[in-house]
Amino acid sequence: MFKTVEEGLAKIKVPSVEKPEDGRGQGFYNPVMKENRDISVAVFSVFINKYFPSDKNVKILDALTATGIRAIRYRKELDGVEVWATDVNENAIKLAKKNAILNNVKIKIEKKDANLIMHERGFDIIDIDPYGTPVMFIDSAFHSIGRFGLLAVTATDTAALNGVYPIVSERRYGIKSVKTQFSKELGTRIILTHIIREGMKYDKAFIPLLSYQSRHYIRLFGLIRKSVEKCNKLLRNIKYFFLADSKKNADKIYLGPLHNKKFCSLVLKELQKRKLDGKKIALLAHNELDIPFYYDIHKLARIYKKNIPRTEKLIKRLKKHGYKASKTIFSDIGIKTNVKEAEVIKYFET
């Protein structure tokens, strides 16, 4: 049984199930990922307008397509793109083909392993949106994108990355995760470090454009450039990081910028223009201080037995005293600042 849903400019058939997981094997569709897809449309649009303004053949691969929703939206909502879509599931491919016809769009849809197509063909933009970890697709994506392009990656194994299963994180990403007040950013930087290292094997730099965690997933967008200089610049930002509460837990981790602010402001404008979801995320990325990690205001208040201040108020107070401070994309109750923990606490009380 199928039902029709509308998302962006697409109208597609999806399995008529109670929970999205029940549709696995038929053509998985999760409506809460609309925000992820909306942001992707805006990011790809900004990327194409900036770097391929007159190219009518920008090649996009939706490598794990399921119902075909991403591929269809990219074809309908972006100008001058050639879209390919693959999935290993037979039913998903049948459904994606039906949905492409329903939407009257030309997409090259094939039942094929994502790794295989990425070794057979070159693409300018690749979207990797799997169940769980994307780790098995990253190497192939760097193989497929040549000297320049854009790679978008979703990871839903946030329990491993955010410190619930540190050993799983160490196995998959080579870095042990840990539960801390800034776990969401640590988890995001762990997978980012892994992706950057995978690219550097081929002298390809993954330069973060936008990195965030929302609901149950992490989403990363990076510019790919084949450049030894750019790789070495990234390498200089992979440094030993010691957690204050666990000195023996030191690992090398990417501590450089998570976003390109100018790019994020263009993404925000694009989301506004197109009336899409994700504006809060783009705005937070644009305004976020480029300082690794954040304080959890509630946690500090508990530890130091203080009243909880409002995030905005605390930021204002710190700025008034000449410090840098901003919200973080990772938590509504987190702040980024250049002030040490003991000093921040002083500004909890008026």
Ligand X SMILES: C[S@@+](CC[C@H](N)C(=O)[O-])C[C@H]1O[C@@H](n2cnc3c(N)ncnc32)[C@H](O)[C@@H]1O
Element (H, E) at 15: strand 10-15
- The answer to whether 44 contacts ligand X (rule: CB under 6 A) is no
Q: Which is nearer to ligand X, 152 or 224 (CB)?
A: 152
123 near ligand X, rule: CB under 6 A: no
Nearer to ligand X, 100 or 205 (CB): 100
Tell the smallest beta-carbon distance from residue 30 to ligand X (Å): 6
Q: Residue of minimal CB distance from ligand X? A: 64
Beta-sheet pairing, 81-87 with 58-62: parallel
Which residue from 3, 16, 22, 88 is in contact with ligand X, where contact means CB under 6 A?
88
Find the binder of ligand X among 38, 41, 77, 89 (CB under 6 A): 89
The CA–CA distances, whole Å, from 236 to 116, 164, 180 equal: 33, 29, 25
Alpha-helical segments (H) within 30-88: 34-51, 69-77
Residue 236: both structure tokens together: 């200089």
The residue (of 64 and 196) whose beta carbon lies closer to ligand X is 64
CB of 182 to ligand X, least distance (A): 27
242 sits near ligand X (criterion: CB under 6 A): no
Give how far Cα 8 sits from Cα of 12, 153, 269, 281, 332, Å. Answer: 11, 20, 17, 18, 27
Question: Residue 31: which residues within 8 A CB-CB, separation 6 or more?
Answer: 5, 7, 20
Binding range to ligand X, per CB under 6 A, among 26-34, 157-165, 249-257, 323-331: 26-34
Tokens of 142: 């760097």
Nearest to 281 by CA among 326, 327, 329: 329
When the beta carbons of 14 and 190 are compared against ligand X, the nearer one is: 14
Interaction between residue 304 and ligand X (CB under 6 A): no
Q: How far is the CB of 187 from ligand X (least distance, A)?
A: 19
> Rule CB under 6 A: which residues touch ligand X?
28-29, 33, 37, 64-67, 69-70, 86-89, 92, 113-114, 129-131
